[in-house]
Amino acid sequence: MVFAPTHLSNCDMYRSPLQARGWRVGFWANNTSEEQALRTKVAIIGAGPAGLLLGQLLHRHGIDNIIVERQTPDYVLGRIRAGLLEEGTVALLDEVGAGARAHREGLIHHGVELAFGGARHRIDMHAATRKTVMIYGQTEVTLDLMNARQAAGLTTVYQAVDVKPHDFDTDRPRLTYRKDGVGHEIACDFIAGCDGYHGVSRASVKPPAIQTFERIYPFGWLGILSETPPVSRELIYSNHARGFALCTMRSMRRSRYYLQCPLDDDIAQWPDDRFWDELKRRLDQKAVDELVTGPSIEKSIAPLRSFVAEPMRFGRMLLAGDAAHIVPPTGAKGLNLAASDVHYLSQALREFYDEKSEAGIDAYSARALTRVWKAVRFSWWMTSMLHKFPDQGEFGARIQFAELEYLVSSKAASASLSENYVGLPL
């Protein structure tokens, strides 16, 4: 599927949720078996926020690019993901002309609340850093970037199957895929792997050329989305003997709540009533009294892991976002790390084309990984401090409590949390 309003004359139209948002959606009417060849400077695998943001940054600087995505656009938009943006991420959206709606509808937060021992304690991040964060869903970020790409008339190929990068260890890489039974090849200068943890980009690298580091956490997050007002104007992170809980939101009318749960739990075990009852057990009394419950409109269980692949460059193929690293959502770093990767990568590619220099490309992996590992550390620390671990015992629980008490009573400790939470400099 191609989204380009000036190039849809020979296609059959259909109604979809995207059309209700003003999209024109079309299928290629190409029934031949002849292989189709294309040429671009950068072939991007993946039309999530990382790939779309990279495409817009490159376009802004006159660098041709094509995005190839194996799913439909409605599927991409249906994925419920992160909802917290650092100022640096918002600035990148502004840079590509996709930040206006976020500024209208996003919620600016100056702090967070930590709940433990039956009480809540506020960390004033803005006082410590002069920075804020914005609550604005990843689904909305993706839609804004889709709209920006459509407005620019750029090519995005959806429902591309058998996507494969080739010859990225040479100066003539190429990408192949099949669309509606027809084979296609994209000749390019670079391939950007923005296709997520399960994507083909990292999987195409020969094992001796890559090293991975991973920690699997022994629990998951059960999350629900509900059309209810949030229980607090800022996020509540709760450490409780029964397990971690998080109260967040997507707007002042839509709330997102999480509970730590066993990895082998099934959604069927968690009807709404049971979820709300358990959430109340893990919150302070003030939050319980103010909590508004209602039917869930989405419910899922997500595993938690820390994962890093090194390096992030393999010849003319460069990885960005979840294709290279995963962090537990406790620190709200996943989408923001993808944005910082894309920032570094777009700068490197601009240097290559504008200055005829490969210095930025050569430095990309080390530069990105420096920030990645700091975010991995912060996310691991937040996860370790707030969750109940199977083997922690009373000693571990007391250490967590001491850590939290120190954190809320020390200006230096709360400033350290704030500095990392709002985002380290790009």
Which residue type, as a one-letter code, is found at position 379? S
Which member of 158, 237, 258, 344 is catalytic? 237
Mode of pairing for the β-strands spanning 182-187 and 36-39: parallel
Q: Give backbone dihedrals phi and psi of 330, rounded to 5 degrees, phi first.
A: -55, -40
Task: In whole angstroms, give the CA distance from residue 196 to residue 5.
Answer: 28
Which member of 230, 329, 343, 364 is catalytic? 329
Which member of 59, 179, 333, 343 is catalytic? 333
Which member of 59, 109, 184, 240 is catalytic? 109
Q: Decide if 329 is catalytic.
A: yes
Task: In whole angstroms, give the CA distance from residue 365 to residue 369.
Answer: 6
Q: Decide if 356 is catalytic.
A: no
Q: Decide if 237 is catalytic.
A: yes
In contact, 211 and 328? CB cutoff 8 Å: no
Q: Decide if 109 is catalytic.
A: yes
DSSP label of 2: B
Task: In whole angstroms, give the CA distance from residue 338 to residue 47.
Answer: 13
In contact, 279 and 259? CB cutoff 8 Å: yes
- DSSP conformation letters of 233-297: SS-EEE--TT--EEEEESSSS-EEEEEEE-TT--GGG--HHHHHHHHHHTS-HHHHHH-----EE
H/E stretch holding 385 reads helix 359-386
Q: Decide if 126 is catalytic.
A: no
Catalytic residues: 109, 237, 329, 333, 421
